[in-house]
Amino acid sequence: MLMLFGVIMKPKKSVLIVEEQDELRRELSRLFEEHQYEAHEAGDIEFLWRKTELAGFDLILIHWRPEWYPDRFRVRAVCGKYPESVVIVAGLLPDYELAVDFLKAGARDCLGDTLSSTELVDACEAALNQHFRALRPWYNQSVMAIAAAIGLRDVETEEHCQRVSNTTVRLCRALGLDQEKHLQAIRWGAFLHDVGKVGIPDSILHKSGSLDPFERQQMRRHPEIGRDLLARIPFLEESIPLVLFHHERFDGSGYPQGLRGEEIPLEARAIAVADTVDAMLSNRVYRSAQTWETVLQELQDHRGSQFDPWVVDVALGHRETVFQDYISGSLVNLEASV
Ligand SMILES: [Fe+2]
Ligand SMILES: [Fe+2]
């Protein structure tokens, strides 16, 4: 995971490029790096074999050479040995027999040699998305199982998590994030934003009165506990910023790291708005749901202090889409203005 000034950056996809010619290999590396991949290189099958033993690459792109034919069994093994990696073999066609053999072994695609750079990257992206979509139902079930475990501690209702998740994804879309896989990571991270509260003692978590300074300090550990829990689950790595930074404030007065402004990942600046809006529009034991006018006023009052002003402006500018979960219950008069 890449850390920069205390902020977890969105992890890049990793690609292993297997190409015999040095110049072409470097050119392919540069191409994929321009498309936000972390590129690794291997110049021959022997190196491919050793490298794939070491790391779980998202993508393995092999430029096949006819002289590698005696070693085809090693390539075949790589095609099926790493289910977490998408393997694409280029330069095979028109040897359809070998292409079918590699596809049967587990390669996701076999390509000709005539693709442009853009077509090659597009083909790899399509294969990665297809791979991710195939795994998504299993990932969803895992996230639901974790959420059910949180529910046993009565940390927050599933409905709250679901609404915050929906609203955060819609807001992130309105903010210009559009990568399907990244939006899915945002959905899961928002759904599990308070997962770390499972590590907070009942005496603090369920206390009806206000918390004393020590208890507040304990409670404020939940984003980091959540980060530690999610760090053990590889497919949730990209969701960690939402869990770790959902209590940061734009002016730097939040926790756990006191990040300010754009040091806070955009997804976390979005969930801060979604979580607050949902909490205010929901009935709580200690108070009833507040009006939409009060919520709008709160967003405006804390625009630039608690919240990113741009995120607030985009949320309000797209309010009918972003806050659509609240329309049906007539909790919200979306025409209200401040
Ligand atoms: Fe929280
Ligand atoms: Fe929440």
For the CA of 223, the nearest ligand: 1
What is the 135 CA–ligand 1 centroid distance (Å)?
28
What is the 220 CA–ligand 2 centroid distance (Å)?
13
For the CA of 271, the nearest ligand: 2
Tell the CATH topology of 153-326. Hypothetical protein af1432 (1.10.3210)
What is the 10 CA–ligand 1 centroid distance (Å)?
21
The least confident of 11-15, 94-98, 119-123, 152-156 is: 152-156
Tens of pLDDT, residue by residue over 136-153, are 888 888 888 888 877 777
Please report which helix (H) or strand (E) contains residue 16, including its range.
Answer: strand 13-18
pLDDT at 338 over 60: no
What is the 141 CA–ligand 1 centroid distance (Å)?
23
Beta-carbon count within 10 A of 16 CB: 24
3-state secondary structure of 62: strand
Buried b (16+ CB within 10 A) or exposed e, 112-132: eeeeeeeebbebbeebbeebb
Q: Which among 10, 12, 81, 197 is annotated as catalytic?
A: 197
Per the prediction, the chain carries an average pLDDT of 86
Are the CB atoms for 45 and 74 separated by under 8 Å? yes
Tens of pLDDT, residue by residue over 99-114, are 899 999 989 988 887 7
Tell the CATH topology of 3-123. Rossmann fold (3.40.50)
Partners of 277 in the beta sheet? none
DSSP, residue by residue, 138-172: HHHHHHHHHHHHHHHTT-S-HHHHHHHHHHHHHHH
pLDDT at 227 over 90: yes
pTM for this prediction: 0.72
Distances in whole angstroms, Cα of residue 218 to Cα of each of 156, 225, 272, 323 = 18, 11, 20, 32
Could you confirm whether 197 is annotated as catalytic?
yes
Please report, rounded to a whole number, the percentage of residues in the chain having pLDDT higher than 70.
Answer: 89
Q: For the chain, give every domain's residue range.
A: 3-123, 153-326
CA distance 141 to 146: 9
Tell me which of 240 and 333 has the higher pLDDT: 240
pLDDT at 205 over 50: yes
- Average confidence (pLDDT) over 28-46: 90
Most confident of the following: 34-48, 78-92, 165-179: 165-179
